[in-house]
Structure 1
């Protein structure tokens, strides 16, 4: 009988500790900086500082073919992918992004190849892989394009919604094939 009492008491104490830890986790989730749980958008890593519904900032860059790319050239449903040579997760996601762009069709993916002059990584392999299937712009971290999207980490992507607003954001967009509206 003494063993049964000890087991029930131990079980009760463990339940109380578990309850206290659960309350701690809930409290921590409620006090997050942006007020939302990252899991709500399906990706704990949100590389863009823009929130869903917020407009993309103004920018003007040229793609690798010399054509101008501006905020006004972004269409609803378009995916803007930010990748960087020398970034291991970016290199691992590159083949998937190429396939995603191929599936989405012409003009539906803007691939921003972000270079950092400090690491010496060259964008050539990324440009060569992405150019046949996507519009490619080479930019710097802190450049006009990355500032317009408030990029805070790589790799990441932003799905463009109506009126140049963010429809979705995060690394998960680079992994999952999304349907693209025809003619958008």
Structure 2
């Protein structure tokens, strides 16, 4: 009878230890995933193209069907890159919209590039998350929808979102003239 008590007690201790270890692993994994989810470009190593980088030509269309051609940029232009469903992109959205409104008033072109992985049968704009982000950005910018590897994301070698570039054409070549990753660094997008 004592053997049964000892066995049950040992089994109880093993179950409690297993539960404690599982809870610790789950908490650690959750913290690491949260840190990755909230990572901004500031925390990534050299993810933004440096000022002065020449951007290869690209051509695409906005959600309204308007052409966007890099060689036709005739005024300072700001491009904001957002990924659907990324927390850092959602948290920077209000600040970007406010900055974009100011930049437009000052004469800049503002283009928002919404990157997505949607496979919605009605197309990406039918995807509720893509549609909501595009609609919000559409109030302050011309909106382009792209997948990884499409024209604009390839031209800017996008790997981390959000990211913001100021570009201008000099001698017929499009070059990066300012970068920002998130507030408060939007000051890098302001015009002198």
Q: TM-score, normalised by structure 2?
A: 0.63
**Deviation, structure 1 residue 111:** 0.4
Q: TM-score, normalised by structure 1?
A: 0.65
Select 1:160's aligned residue among 154, 167, 170: 167
Task: Extract structure 1 runs of 4+ deviating beyond 4 A.
Answer: none
- SS across alignment from 2:129: coil
Select 2:186's aligned residue among 151, 176, 179: 176
Structure with higher helix content: 2
- Structure 1 gap segments, 5+ residues each: 1-42
> Radius of gyration: which is bigger?
2
From the superposition, tell whether residues 172 and 89 of structure 1 become closer, same or farther in structure 2 (CA, over 3 Å): closer
Residue 61 in structure 1 maps to residue 60 in structure 2:
yes
- SS across alignment from 1:110: strand
Kindly indicate whether the alpha-carbon contact (under 8 Å) linking 2:73 and 2:169 is maintained by their aligned counterparts in 1.
no
1:4-83 equivalences in 2 (<5 Å): 43-45=42-44, 46-48=46-48, 50-83=49-82
Residue 117 in structure 1 maps to residue 128 in structure 2:
no
Instruction: Name the structure 2 match of 1:134.
Output: 141
From the superposition, tell whether residues 47 and 124 of structure 1 become closer, same or farther in structure 2 (CA, over 3 Å): farther
- Structure 2 gap segments, 5+ residues each: 1-41, 120-126
In the alignment of these two chains, the number of paired residues is 139
Kindly indicate whether the alpha-carbon contact (under 8 Å) linking 2:168 and 2:175 is maintained by their aligned counterparts in 1.
yes
